[in-house]
Structure 1
Amino acid sequence: MNKFIICIAFACTAIFSPPLCAQQKILLPEARFKTGNDLSWKEKDLNDSQWTTIRTDRIWENQGFSSYDGYAWYRIHFYLPSSLIEKSYLKDSICFNLSKIDDADETYLNGTLIGKTGSFPESSSGYQSYYDVLRNYKISVKNSALKWDQENVLAIRVYDGSSSGGIYEGTPYISNIDLIDYVTLQQSAVKNNYTVTLKNSSHVFVKGRLTIKVLDTEQENDKTIKEISENINLQAFGQKTNTLNIPVNKRACLMASFVESHTGKVKELEIATPYILTPSSPATPKINGAKVFGVRPQSPFLFRIPATGKKPLHYAISNLPAGLSLDEETGIITGSLSESGDYKMKFIVTNSLGKAERDFTVKVGDLLATTPPMGWNSWNCWGLSVTEDKVKSSAQSLLDKGLADHGWTYINIDDSWENGERASSGDILANEKFPDMKALGDWLHQKGLRFGIYSSPGTKTCGNYLGSYQHEKQDASTYANWGVDYLKYDWCSYGDVFAQENDNSTSAYMKPYQVMEKALRDQKRDIVYSLCQYGMKDVWEWSAAVDGNCWRTTGDITDTWQSLKSIGFNQDKLYPFAKPGHWNDPDMLIVGRVGWGDNLHPTHLTPDEQYTHISLWSLLSSPLLIGCDISGMDDFTLSLLTNDEVIGVNQDPLGKQAKRLLEKGDWQVWAKELEDGSYAVGIFNLGDKTDTTEINWSELGLPAATNVRDLWRQKELNVKGNLFRTKVASHGVTLVKLER
């Protein structure tokens, strides 16, 4: 029986359909694997016994081939029984379902090409990536390449242009094409109205029974809240639709199944619908975000007080130090402070309904990024297609949608802003997509936002634009003149320089980052320094020594559960290195509409996986950089990013990273000590089924709670003592605070 788990966007219309392959399967869970590009490797009789054996449901970077880009081959040996088609109503075709392949592939059966998606660099059309496309290659049962009742070899030539590579997101399989495969169950959503469409794409009549259920899955036992069950007779190319309204404030599951009458085969659809846990912000004033901010003496100071409440708001500061000034209408603080030390003050925000106060400390010294940076980065959204207009759109939306009122402040331009050549003086120039970088920086600063930019210590960036190699001082000076507040410095082509120097010492890995560190230090402006070199040479052990404020610990993340799981839950040994001013960075956020180019799509994470993503990154004290198009952000995504109690875990001034206290089967428990002596605790279910667990706090070394608070729902659970019982969705989380 096929089961398709589909992730949907909340406030936009999206249609998904399952792959065209039936239910009698030959699973292909493993392959022999080799990097390189030799076309003779497609032949059936090639001796591949010495090749590496890897799994076919995950990228090769997670299987010992980290940071490998380029060509590689998979060879899958399988026996093809003629019984595969005996129970079929239709007996003319079989399908090779190869899941998704990052980026382009050619697939050969016993040496014969049977399918191709994307194109390779040497092709006439040039390299084209189709990493997000399902590979379903259909051939006739009479195709001479098939060896019935014999061993066959499927050889898959893959080219990966960058980041993750290989087959991923599901185990490949072979199946017959039957009548049920011409029937699709599709789903579309407009806000909380869900339409299920049953469609017959064949030229023959199809009949069967359709059942649709909506389950409330928040309680201990799932409860059916809506159900439709009816006999269906579909004409050739006909369809039937049903629309249901599903509440947005509770976790629900939409399930649909169609049983085809001739064979009894089933097509199923299951959707975990987006559900909003974050309460609406009160109309009375509320001050959010970080409680501490670091700046160097005499550096330009910029801070926007993040506050919610009915507009207009009025801002005031008690004990505002000399050298700083406040715009009482916008809450933007500017100026500079000359003397080192801690400057304690009180923010005061009022409106027609009340007043809020909060203590705040400015630490003037040598420490920047006293809490993890929060903001937006263009890469996961626009990739190399970013433009000034797109940057401004997300920046304005950060304000208009209220994200800045919760502490989101950086607007970071990733790769592809650079001109093809430097000025005659050697100065770096922006290309035609960014006509005036200084004006853009000024525009952002006027709105209380901070300006981030991207470069590489190599001659070229990862997108093949100009890097900073041997121009570090000039580039740092240019960035400062533009008003840059954040630099992401990506290893990329520095690997070529590194290889030529033939030095594998830690000092050699530090060298390019030390050069830029000194250049940044010479500027009369604070620039947060983000090292991006994918965790090589245990960067967390030495990044602080080169003034690194944050450092990537892994390769690039993608919007899949496998990527999120393999990156996020492998940060457990890094907690000793996280502290104020220095943060482990497991990469940017993958919620909302992403795409790494012009063709955006809703994240492939389920709603529960998105709650896990934000919860875990908050516990890890990771930088929080939104990676989606903010202008098109839906209500569900907005709710994920505006929960001040969850953000408060990330921005806690103590600056500790969570430790993993339990790893047992599919369960993990992570706990982070907070400034007030309480603990934020994430209880994660990494399994494929919703389940209930009971946690004994004392067995994990945690204090008995005087109260347990649900951080996503922002409510007390009235649970005390050592025992805590919770139901957690598949790939989901319960995030609580143990108050003492």
Structure 2
Amino acid sequence: MRTPPKLVLSAVLMIGVAFGGLAVDSVRSTPAQALNNGLVRTPPMGFNDWNAFGCDVSEQLIKQTADSFVSSGLKAAGYQYVNIDDCWMTHSRDPQTGRLVPDPAKFPDGIDGTADYVHSLGLKLGIYEDAGTATCAGYPGSLGHETVDAQTFADWGVDYLKYDNCNNAGSTTTQQYIDRYSAMRDALAATGRPIVYSICEWGVNSPWLWAPSVGNLWRTTGDISDGWNSLKSIIRENLPLYPYAGAGAFNDPDMLEIGNGGMTDTEYRTHFAVWSMFAAPLLIGSDLRQATPATMNILLNKDIIAIDQDPLSKQAKPISDSNGHVVLAKPLQGGDVAVALYNESDTAARISTTVGAAGLPKATAYRQKDLWTGTSTETAGTISAVVPPHGTAIYRLSKDSKWANLPPSADLSVTLPGAAATGSQPVVNPNTPVDVQTALTDNGRAPLISAAVTLTAPAGWTVTVKSSPIGVAIQSGKPFKSQWTIAPPAGAGPGSYQVSASAVYNWTGGSWQTITTTTAFVVAKPPPSGVSYLSDLDWLSASNDWGPVEKDRSNGETGAADGHTITINGVTYAKGLGTNAPAEIDYYLDGRCSTVSTDVGIDDEKNGSPANATFIIYADGTEVANSGAMTAADPAKHLSGSLAGAQVLRLVADDNGSPDSDHTDWAGAQITC
């Protein structure tokens, strides 16, 4: 659960963050045996109210969500747990029995009445509590009350418990964490009721090393937020933990944000695909009563759900990871393998691997099913796609003796060998032609016949063919390349513009195929001459962990302009940028600038916290300044670097793996052009 709004963590938790990792290896260096309670042999699927509603939980919401499970097809697709998060109870226990008391205004029929309704629909009910003296929202915690609370949950008909980590009474060491969470494990077991046990200690004390014998799943990261930087950061944290997942024991990178509106549908598809490759719980965190068709299409994708729910329950292993291009492979029951091509970067990219690297045995050819489109092709051994920025292609690969009946797999890319490498999206100037190359590659056994490639730009742009776009016969593994020039009109305003390439081709099976790819081009305004504050300029792109990047304010984590005066170690700044690490900001320079300079540090509003961040400046992808790790106790550091000839400036605040919300200031940031 998120500490509202991720600003206030108890001092004792902060101590745990600082020291918790030191004791892990002394406790256990290999994965523990999975908790033998027979539950969730595949990852749990369902709903949790916190991401969309926070404390605004009610019996009506839970019942309406359960109804939505049935009417929308979610129940049929495998979603079954309807989980209540924090704020469901009163602020005092029953003075006679010591039991927790449901808020009568929110739950007039009580938790047991709500459970009865959910159960009547063939679904299961989950509840929330905390392994501390109080929940994150300040309601009674279960520390010291494990026996009575577990029995209360069992009496109410609860099927799932999420157990949080706020206000944990000074608990810091790994053994203290094990003791607190084991106490509830034992209390739940003593009730005799099967209750799924979800440990939510935020990855503080490396729970993947000890929690398999304590709970059914355990949080591996801090709280997710509905933004790309948060999603990207959590994926990074969970990637190396594949050895620790298994049936009934799962790494939990937090609940789904799909449908909450803070990310694009492409990013939400990545969220769902990567979570399924992770064998992660699929707990919907959006308002299903208002879900869009795009949201439901993602959540109801039966082929990707099957990857998550595969009986082997293995988490995917990263088999390659370079320049923000990650390939994941997940073995499946029966010998198939799921492969995901994840593009963390801000530019469309061709990402590829081989069936051998993915773990498939040698064969003449393979069936490759695209799990987003549902279409199947044959591949000779290459698994490849042009993946949009922040996107993920996901496939199921199988040995198939009837591969010759399938069209060959192919991919189509658009590259700009004549354009500057920007480190973000390709940037072009109005009325200035740039060279573009298309490449159609046959990844199958059969050749592509009579291929024709077209390139389409927005209205008013010019597109000129420089070499033939017609390929008579394209052999396996041989890309067919065509050269083009494109140019935006003189009056093109700043913004992102889509350029699309399409190819039609035949094959020996005799059916025409079409493939399309799109690349975003950015028309940007060059900076003015002289010295400019970056907070007075428009950026190319900005991503932030919590809330938007702020201009001339610290980061307030929620909405625009909700921060304060930038202050680092008692020094205030009227100008600058307020970010929340991990964060990235790109500015277009057009090769016109010479230097960048800024003071950097953790804002004073984080004094007393374990905030820890590194500030890095890049010019066209080359590092030109680095602060090293900084804490909230450090005075500001001055960074400067050369921008000579650079097209794009990138400011990066790295959270160094800290789960705290790091308020990272770029104070007085300037460029000279």
TM-score between both structures, scaled by the size of structure 2: 0.53
Residues in 2 aligned to 1:521 and 1:701: alpha-carbon distance in whole angstroms: 39
Q: 235, 241, 264: which one pairs with 1:568?
A: 235
Q: Which residue of structure 2 aligns with residue 641 of structure 1?
A: 299
Residues in 2 aligned to 1:693 and 1:486: alpha-carbon distance in whole angstroms: 39
Residues in 2 aligned to 1:651 and 1:724: alpha-carbon distance in whole angstroms: 23
Secondary structure of 2:379's match? Answer: coil
8 Å Cα contact 2:366/2:381 also seen in 1: no
Establish whether residue 714 from structure 1 lines up as the match of residue 387 from structure 2: no
8 Å Cα contact 1:377/1:412 also seen in 2: yes
Q: Which residue of structure 2 aligns with residue 624 of structure 1?
A: 282
8 Å Cα contact 1:458/1:497 also seen in 2: no
Counterpart residue type for residue 461 of structure 1: T
Residues 48-98 of structure 1: per-residue CA shift (max 9 Å, x gap): xxxxxxxxxxxxxxxxxxx998xxxxxxxxxxxxxxxxxxxxxxxxxxxxx
Residues 117-174 of structure 1: per-residue CA shift (max 9 Å, x gap): xxxxxxxxxxxx7xxxxxxxxxxxxxxxxxxxxxxxxxxxxx92469xxxxxxxxxxx
8 Å Cα contact 2:66/2:121 also seen in 1: no
8 Å Cα contact 1:386/1:416 also seen in 2: yes
Q: 148, 161, 177: which one pairs with 1:509?
A: 177
- Structure 1 residue 511: Cα displacement: 0.8
- Structure 1 residue 702: Cα displacement: 4.4
Establish whether residue 378 from structure 1 lines up as the match of residue 52 from structure 2: no
Figure out how many residues of one structure are paired with residues of the other and give that number.
Answer: 370
Residues in 2 aligned to 1:657 and 1:675: alpha-carbon distance in whole angstroms: 13
8 Å Cα contact 1:476/1:520 also seen in 2: yes
Q: 421, 434, 439: which one pairs with 2:92?
A: 421
- Structure 1 residue 701: Cα displacement: 4.9
Q: Which residue of structure 1 aligns with residue 107 of structure 2?
A: 434
- Structure 1 residue 385: Cα displacement: 1.2
Establish whether residue 737 from structure 1 lines up as the match of residue 396 from structure 2: yes
Q: Which residue of structure 2 aligns with residue 587 of structure 1?
A: 254
Among all aligned residue pairs of Structure 1 and Structure 2, give the percentage whose two residues are the same amino acid.
40
Q: Which residue of structure 2 aligns with residue 446 of structure 1?
A: 120
Q: Which residue of structure 2 aligns with residue 160 of structure 1?
A: 7
Counterpart residue type for residue 465 of structure 1: Y
Residues in 2 aligned to 1:450 and 1:534: alpha-carbon distance in whole angstroms: 25
Go from structure 1 to structure 2 and tell me whether the alpha carbon gap of 1:393 and 1:699 turns closer, same or farther (over 3 Å shift).
Answer: closer
Counterpart residue type for residue 55 of structure 2: L
Residues 367-425 of structure 1: per-residue CA shift (max 9 Å, x gap): 21111000000100110111111111111111111111101110000000111111122
8 Å Cα contact 2:354/2:382 also seen in 1: yes
Matches within 5 A, 1:649-688: 649-688=307-346
Q: Which residue of structure 2 aligns with residue 530 of structure 1?
A: 198
Q: Which residue of structure 1 aligns with residue 77 of structure 2?
A: 406
Go from structure 1 to structure 2 and tell me whether the alpha carbon gap of 1:584 and 1:382 turns closer, same or farther (over 3 Å shift).
Answer: same
Secondary structure of 2:47's match? Answer: strand
Q: Which residue of structure 1 aligns with residue 218 of structure 2?
A: 551
8 Å Cα contact 1:378/1:627 also seen in 2: yes
Residues in 1 aligned to 2:236 and 2:311: alpha-carbon distance in whole angstroms: 23
Secondary structure of 1:734's match? Answer: strand
Counterpart residue type for residue 731 of structure 1: H
Go from structure 1 to structure 2 and tell me whether the alpha carbon gap of 1:553 and 1:400 turns closer, same or farther (over 3 Å shift).
Answer: same
Secondary structure of 2:295's match? Answer: helix
Secondary structure of 1:458's match? Answer: coil
Q: 397, 418, 435: which one pairs with 2:68?
A: 397
8 Å Cα contact 1:591/1:627 also seen in 2: yes
Residues in 1 aligned to 2:46 and 2:371: alpha-carbon distance in whole angstroms: 21
Go from structure 1 to structure 2 and tell me whether the alpha carbon gap of 1:460 and 1:694 turns closer, same or farther (over 3 Å shift).
Answer: closer
- Structure 1 residue 529: Cα displacement: 0.2
Residues in 1 aligned to 2:290 and 2:2: alpha-carbon distance in whole angstroms: 34
Residues 529-558 of structure 1: per-residue CA shift (max 9 Å, x gap): 000000121101111222x00000001000
8 Å Cα contact 1:690/1:727 also seen in 2: yes
Establish whether residue 611 from structure 1 lines up as the match of residue 269 from structure 2: yes
Counterpart residue type for residue 38 of structure 2: L
8 Å Cα contact 1:380/1:628 also seen in 2: yes
Residues in 1 aligned to 2:75 and 2:8: alpha-carbon distance in whole angstroms: 35
Go from structure 1 to structure 2 and tell me whether the alpha carbon gap of 1:462 and 1:549 turns closer, same or farther (over 3 Å shift).
Answer: same
Matches within 5 A, 1:477-516: 477-494=151-168, 496-498=169-171, 504-516=172-184
Go from structure 1 to structure 2 and tell me whether the alpha carbon gap of 1:665 and 1:395 turns closer, same or farther (over 3 Å shift).
Answer: same
Kindly report the root-mean-square deviation, in angstroms, between the aligned alpha carbons of the 2 structures. 2.1
8 Å Cα contact 1:662/1:700 also seen in 2: no
Residues 294-345 of structure 1: per-residue CA shift (max 9 Å, x gap): xxxxxxxxxxxxxxxxxxxxxxxxxxxxxxxxxxxxxxxxxxxxxxxxxxxx
- Structure 1 residue 727: Cα displacement: 1.3
8 Å Cα contact 2:341/2:352 also seen in 1: no
Secondary structure of 2:237's match? Answer: coil
8 Å Cα contact 1:453/1:486 also seen in 2: yes
TM-score between both structures, scaled by the size of structure 1: 0.48
8 Å Cα contact 1:708/1:738 also seen in 2: yes
Residues in 2 aligned to 1:556 and 1:628: alpha-carbon distance in whole angstroms: 15
Q: Which residue of structure 1 aligns with residue 415 of structure 2?
A: none
Residues in 1 aligned to 2:200 and 2:213: alpha-carbon distance in whole angstroms: 15
Q: Which residue of structure 1 aligns with residue 631 of structure 2?
A: none
Residues in 2 aligned to 1:625 and 1:660: alpha-carbon distance in whole angstroms: 23
8 Å Cα contact 1:372/1:622 also seen in 2: yes
Counterpart residue type for residue 609 of structure 1: E
Q: 245, 265, 281: which one pairs with 1:578?
A: 245
Establish whether residue 727 from structure 1 lines up as the match of residue 376 from structure 2: no
Residues in 1 aligned to 2:331 and 2:173: alpha-carbon distance in whole angstroms: 35
Q: Which residue of structure 2 aligns with residue 203 of structure 1?
A: none
Q: Which residue of structure 2 aligns with residue 519 of structure 1?
A: 187
Secondary structure of 2:395's match? Answer: strand
- Structure 1 residue 666: Cα displacement: 2.2
- Structure 1 residue 703: Cα displacement: 4.0
Counterpart residue type for residue 572 of structure 1: L
Residues in 2 aligned to 1:373 and 1:529: alpha-carbon distance in whole angstroms: 11
8 Å Cα contact 1:456/1:491 also seen in 2: yes
Which runs of no fewer than 5 residues in structure 2 stay unpaired?
11-34, 400-673
Which runs of no fewer than 5 residues in structure 1 stay unpaired?
1-66, 70-102, 104-128, 130-158, 164-363, 499-503, 594-602
Matches within 5 A, 1:178-327: none
Q: 18, 30, 40: which one pairs with 1:369?
A: 40
- Structure 1 residue 699: Cα displacement: 4.6
Secondary structure of 1:399's match? Answer: helix
Secondary structure of 2:340's match? Answer: strand
Counterpart residue type for residue 370 of structure 2: D
Q: Which residue of structure 1 aligns with residue 140 of structure 2?
A: 466
8 Å Cα contact 2:351/2:386 also seen in 1: yes
Residues in 2 aligned to 1:731 and 1:389: alpha-carbon distance in whole angstroms: 36
Residues in 2 aligned to 1:419 and 1:686: alpha-carbon distance in whole angstroms: 43
8 Å Cα contact 2:221/2:237 also seen in 1: no
- Structure 1 residue 716: Cα displacement: 0.5
Residues in 1 aligned to 2:54 and 2:339: alpha-carbon distance in whole angstroms: 34
